[in-house]
Every structure is written in structure tokens, then in C-alpha cells.
Structure 1
Amino acid sequence: MVLQQIWKLGRKWDDLMPQELHNALQKVQNSYFAMPDIRIPRTVHNFSKTTSSQLHIFVDASMAAMTAVAYLLTTNSQATPPQVCFFMGKCEVAPIKQMSVPKMELEAAVIGVRLLQLIQR
């Protein structure tokens, strides 16, 4: 979104950016380095013991961005509770030409459908 704000200014490649946007980019960069060592397991679930699985896709939008996320819910034949894990997500910055929130929500729904199609393939 910060890059989109820079684009809206219409500056040339070698022009200096305003201090406010420079500070915003610096804050994003610093937040990456401040994160602890995060480990995300590569396996989603042990499907050999799965008796049921459901894919749930949630979408949302604001005036700034649209997003869709997919979660996988799996259950097994044992008496263990169901497991839910984040499966995949997709986010897009709102277009430069402003749209209404209902239109943005519809665009988020399209992203959700495309995410589902990608997962199904």
C-alpha cells in the first residue's frame, strides 16, 4: 500500500520520496527484522488418519485492500478434536480508482473463488 501511495504521487524513479512515506517503508522493514525466528511446518496434516476434511474460505475487503484465506479442517476416526490449519491466502491492494465497499467485497469474493479453483487444481 505504501508503494501504491508512492505511485500516486507521480514521482520519477530517481526522485526522493516524502519523509512520511520513507518512515512508513522503514517501519515495515524494521518489523521484519524484529520478528522472532518463526517456524512453520511444511506438512498440513497427516491424511492417512483423516476421515473427513473441509476447506473453508473467508473473504474480506476494505477501502485499502481485499483478501481471501483458506483454512483446512480435518477430523479423524479417533476421539481427538478436529484440527484447523491455515492453508493458503491471497491479498490484493485496492485499485487506484476508488470503488465502494460493496464493490470491493464482490472483488474479494472473486479472489476467494479463484483461490478455491487454484486449490482444487
Structure 2
Amino acid sequence: MLDDGLVTVPSAYSVDDTISRFEAALQAKGVTLFAKIDHGAGAVEAGMTLRPTFLLIFGNARAGTPLMQANQRIGVDLPLKALVWQDADEKVWLTYNDPAWLAARHRLDGAAAEAVTALQKGLATLAQDAAG
């Protein structure tokens, strides 16, 4: 599903399993996981509730640098992010920004097209590996 530049795929696994599978897929591909943010824990600290919602921040200089060489401002959207979350029906989802949408947002020219396509394929593979 593509919605305003977001790709959302259903997961066949729990939130924890989806995250573990995503982390394993990152490691297998030599991609660095920079941070894992538990938005639910943040909500609890604020005295509120939130269904399980985790933001994974990850990247690889070989993938991101060509995009920043084309337009450094895309760095505001890098490193990449994936959100693993559970909806009100307890269905688990994985959402990430479509690299083609980011390229359009930052008006990347044709010189970056190969890098954008590679990122699209790579993210789709990571999502499939994580979500099943």
C-alpha cells in the first residue's frame, strides 16, 4: 500500500518478531541500525497509552551518499526509517518512506535514479524479510 509516499506492508508476525526479523535482515545486508525508539514507552512516561509503535533508524553510506551528492537536503530524510506498529485490531504493520517519493520531494535528477531504484528494491526486500 502506498499513501503519500509511505509504503505500508502487513506483517505475519508480532511486533517483537517483526522488529527482530528486520534487525536480522539489516545485519545480513551490512546495514547499520542507528537507533530503535519505543514510542509506546515514551507515551507511558508522559502518562498516556499507545499501542506498540517502534521506529527503527538505519542506513548505509553506500546507499545514501549518492542521494546526498545529488541534493544534500535529502539528508534531512536520511538515515532511513521504518515504523513497526500495531493497529486497533492488533494487526502488525511495517511502514517506510518510498525512496522514489523522497527523490521527487528533493527533486533529484536522473543521475540519482539508479541509487533510488536500488534503495526501493532494498527496502522492499527488507520489508519482505521482516514481515513475511
Q: Same fold (TM over 0.5)?
A: no
Q: Structure 1 length as normaliser, TM-score?
A: 0.30
